[in-house]
Amino acid sequence: MKAVNKFLKLNLHLLHCGYIQLGAEWRFEGVISPFCRIYLITEGEAWVYHHQRTFRLRPGFLYLIPSFTVSSYQCDATMTQYYLSLTEETDSGFSMFDMQQMDYEVPALPIDALLFSRLLELNPNRSLQNIDPKVYDNKPDLLSFNQPAHTQSMVQHLETQGILLQLFSRFMQSSDAAIREHEQARIQLGGVLNYIHTHLSEKLTVAQLAALQQVHPDHFSRQFCHLLGIRPIDYINNKRLERAQLLIATSSLPLQTIAEQVGIPDIYYFSRLFKRRFGIPPGRYRKMGVQT
């Protein structure tokens, strides 16, 4: 029997990084971003709300806000932080958040401030020019940072990747039970998940996916729900809407075209699903601009 590779290849793409002092102007609600954010707090405090939980941002801690997460921010006095934003995907094409239990608040290691400082040295001019999501002005270039900068050598690019992997790894839970559960899902459903992610623009049915597993559709649905905690159709719709949000944020494609590209050609149905998932209709989301 062919051995199963235990480890996924994780690809991280840096978008922005910086060091900033924030005040009471850092107060935003209903922020939805198509990328992850990592903070290291050095002074002061603030609050972030997501996943039905309020996180008090404290010095000496790292914080992770996953992509496609509705969140709110508040700083009453002052707070100083290192920050970075990034996109992530595995070699199978799906998110690490699908396959790995993650923490959102962890103690920083003594080396982490040095890693952030070095990241800024390697990637100058990557700071956000405006912290207000409504006027964020880098929308057309959101994904342009996926490749090394023209002024950055390959050695610097590889060092950047190493730092991102170190910082991202801080949030990955090491529970044996969690690892076994998600490894089981990846082994049993990896091919199906990869098929879903590479065929989102096409019609996808439970019967079709069950055929890939060579099982009855009812059995497949129960297996999928047991391993991932969500029904197959709901999972597909979530991934379609996440891709749609990314396209809205990073392109000027008409909403109808985006709806077709993610496999929901009925624009009215697409709009209803988008609003149900993210709380606002797609047209309004586009007018708001990319969330920071």
End-to-end CA distance of the chain: 47
CATH, range 176-288: 1.10.10.60
Q: Which amino acid is at 287?
A: K
What confidence score (pLDDT) does residue 5 get? 46
CA 206 to chain centre: 26
Q: Which of 117, 144, 92 is nearest to 250 (CA)?
A: 144
What confidence score (pLDDT) does residue 138 get? 40
Q: Which CATH architecture has domain 10-169?
A: Sandwich (2.60)
What residues have CB less than 8 Å from 265, skipping those under 6 apart?
A: 259
243 near 271, Cβ under 8 Å?
no
The structure's pTM equals 0.71
* Domain segments of the chain as ranges: 10-169, 176-288
Q: Over the chain (292 residues), what is each successive 10-residue block's mean pLDDT?
A: 51 90 91 88 95 92 90 93 88 66 92 97 87 53 49 87 94 64 64 84 92 91 85 92 83 90 94 89 78 44
**Structure tokens, 114:** 């040095």
Range 200-206 contact pairs with CB under 8 angstroms and sequence separation of 24 or more: 200/236, 200/239, 200/240, 200/243, 200/262, 200/263, 201/260, 201/261, 201/262, 201/263, 202/263, 203/263, 204/236, 204/263, 206/232, 206/233
What confidence score (pLDDT) does residue 125 get? 85
Cα distances (angstroms) measured from residue 149 to each of 19, 158, 193, 249: 20, 12, 32, 21
